[in-house]
Amino acid sequence: MGQCGSITRRDFIRSSAFAAASSLLPVSQPQADPGSTNGSTPDILASGWEFFRGSLGGAWDVWREDIAETTIWQKVDLPHCFNARDAVDPDLPYYEGPAWYRRKLLPRNPLENGRSLLLFEGVGQRCEVFIALESVARHIGGYDEFAVDITDALARAAKSAPPGRGIPLSVLCDNSRDLETIPSELNDFHRFGGLYRNLTLFYVPAISLERVHIHVEMSRAARAQVSVRVRLHNPRAFREEVELLIRMFDSKGSLLRSATRRLPAWEGEQEAASFQVESPELWSPRHPSLHRCEVQLASPHGPTTVTESFGFRYCEFEEHGPFKLNGERIYLKGTQREEDHAGLGAAMPESLIREELTLIKDMGANFLGLGHHQQSRTVLNLCDELGLLVLEEIPWSRGGLGGDGYKEEARAMLRAMIDQHYNHPSVIFWGVGNENDWPGDFRDFDKEAICSFVKELNDEAHTLDPNRTTFLRRCDFCKLSLDLGWLVPRSLHAVQEKDRS
C-alpha cells in the first residue's frame, strides 16, 4: 500500500473550492444595464484596473511614481473582492482595512452639455471616489447602488492631463470595523471589501431620467391601476419643457397602453401617467409573467429612455391564517441566499448567480430570503424572471443600536433599497432588521430604544411603499412594532401544516 502525504486544510481549499470558483469565472465582460439608453454606449469599467491593499496618504500617493517600490500594484478585473481568499482560508488572517483601486478614463461623452456618471452597483463597505486628486464622492454602505456625477471634475482634470493619456480615477474602499456603522461584526456573514459589483460609466443629456417607479394597485385579478412616476437628473436645474412618452407592454411585447405629456422640468418624483388595466396577466412563481414599461424623455438637450420590468400580483396575509398570492393560498418554501462564494467573496459573476438561483428554483423553492442585506440588481432580476418570492432586508443585524449616525445610515439603506428595487414583483417583504435581540456592540442594550427605531423604520417603509409588508426576524420584544415579526416563516409553516392535516 502506497504512503499518502498529509494535506492541510489550506491545501484542500486551494485544490477544491478555489479551483471550482476559478472554473466558473465568465469569459465575457458583464453587460451594461439595458434599461437606460440615450444613443451612446456606456463604458463597462471591468478591465484596466490596478489594486493595492493597504493605507496610502491619499490620491497623490496613488499616482506618484517615486514611491513605486513600496506600493506594489496588482492588475485586477472587476468585480473584485479583496477578501476573496482570506474569508475562507483558515491559515490567512481576515483583512479589514483600506484598499485602493486605480485606472485611467478616456471619457467620450458625445452630448453637448451632457453629463458623465459613474454607477457603482455595490462597494464594500465605505468608499471615496477621486478624479485626479479631487474627491468627488463619499459613500457609506456596502450593498446599495449609487451614482456619482463626475462631469465637472472631468473637465477640471482635463485641463492639466496630458492629451491622450486619460483622466486618473481612483477609489478608496475600506471595510474596517466601526461601531457606528452597520452591519455588526457579530453577524455570521463577512463585511467584504472591494469593488465587488459592476461599475459603469454612463453618458446622459443635461436633463435625463434618474428613476422610474411603476406603482400597481390591485386587490383582485379583474382590474389594476398603474401609476408611472418619474424622477429627473437635472443638476443645473434647467427649466425647459420636456416631453414624455410612456408605453406599457405585456409579457409578449404587445403594446397595452401609451400616453404623452409635456411639462417643464421638475424636482422630486412626479406622476407621468396613470393607466387602468382590465384582467391583467398575473405574475406568480408558477407563471412569472413580466410586463415592461418604457419611458422616453425628449428635451432640448437630447433624448433618454428608461425601460423597467414589473408584474401584476397582489398579496394577502390572513390573520392567524395562510398567505395568499393573487387570491390563491400558497405554501412558502425555500431557502436563504448569502452573497458570497469560495475564492470569490462577494465578487460573484452574473453567470454564477444565475446558476445558483436556477438550482434553488429547480429544487422546488418558491421563496428566497436575501440574507442579510440588499443584493444586486442581477439577483432581483433573476428572482423576477424565475418566479421566486423574496424577502429583502437592510443589514441592521445583531449588536444593538448605535447613535444618530448609526440610525441615519440604517434609514438611508432602507430608503435606497426600496427606491432601487421598488418595481420587482418578486419582493413581498421589506425587512427592517434581523436578530435584533442579540446584544454585544454597545455597553447598553436598550430594548425600548430598539423597538422605537423598529417602529420608525416600519413607518418609513410604509410611507415609501404602502403595498408591501414589513418583516423582522427573531426579535420577540419588537414583534408588535411592525407587520410580521419573530420567526414568521415558522409560524406560517405551523399554521399551514395544521390546515393541510
- C-alpha cell of 137? 464622492
**Sequence-ordered alpha helix ranges (H) in 28-149:** 59-63
The whole-angstrom separation of Cα 419 and Cα 423 is 9
The catalytically annotated residue of 121, 308, 393, 435 is 435
- Which residues have C-beta within 8 Å of that of residue 295, sequence separation ≥ 6? 209, 212, 228, 230, 244, 245, 246, 272, 305, 306, 307, 308
Give how far the C-alpha of residue 387 lies from the chain's centroid of Cα atoms, to the nearest Å: 19
Q: What are the backbone dihedrals phi and psi of residue 326, each rounded to the nearest 5 degrees, phi first? A: 55, 35
Exposed, middle or buried, 346 (CB in 10 Å: 0-12/13-18/19+)?
buried
Helix, strand, coil shares of the chain, percent, nearest 5, are 20, 35, 45
Q: Are strands 397-399 and 427-439 parallel, antiparallel or unpaired?
A: parallel
- C-alpha cell of 451? 423597538
The whole-angstrom separation of Cα 146 and Cα 148 is 7
Hey, which residues does 120 pair with through a beta bridge?
146, 199
The whole-angstrom separation of Cα 412 and Cα 444 is 24
> First and final CA of the chain: distance in angstroms?
57
Give how far the C-alpha of residue 241 lies from the chain's centroid of Cα atoms, to the nearest Å: 32
The whole-angstrom separation of Cα 61 and Cα 172 is 12
CA-to-CA separations, 178 to 18, 125, 172, 182, 410, in angstroms, rounded = 30, 10, 16, 8, 14
The 8-class DSSP code of residue 477 comes to G
The whole-angstrom separation of Cα 83 and Cα 383 is 27
- C-alpha cell of 145? 447602488
Triad 385, 17, 72: Cα angle to 5°:
100
Annotated active-site residue 435? The verdict is: yes
**Sequence-ordered alpha helix ranges (H) in 16-161:** 17-23, 59-63, 151-158
- Which residues have C-beta within 8 Å of that of residue 44, sequence separation ≥ 6? 29, 30, 31, 32, 198, 200
Collapse the DSSP code of 318 into the 3-class scheme (helix H, G, I; strand E, B; otherwise coil) and give the result.
coil
Cα atoms in the 13 Å half-sphere on the side-chain side of 184 = 19
Q: Which residues carry out catalysis?
A: 435
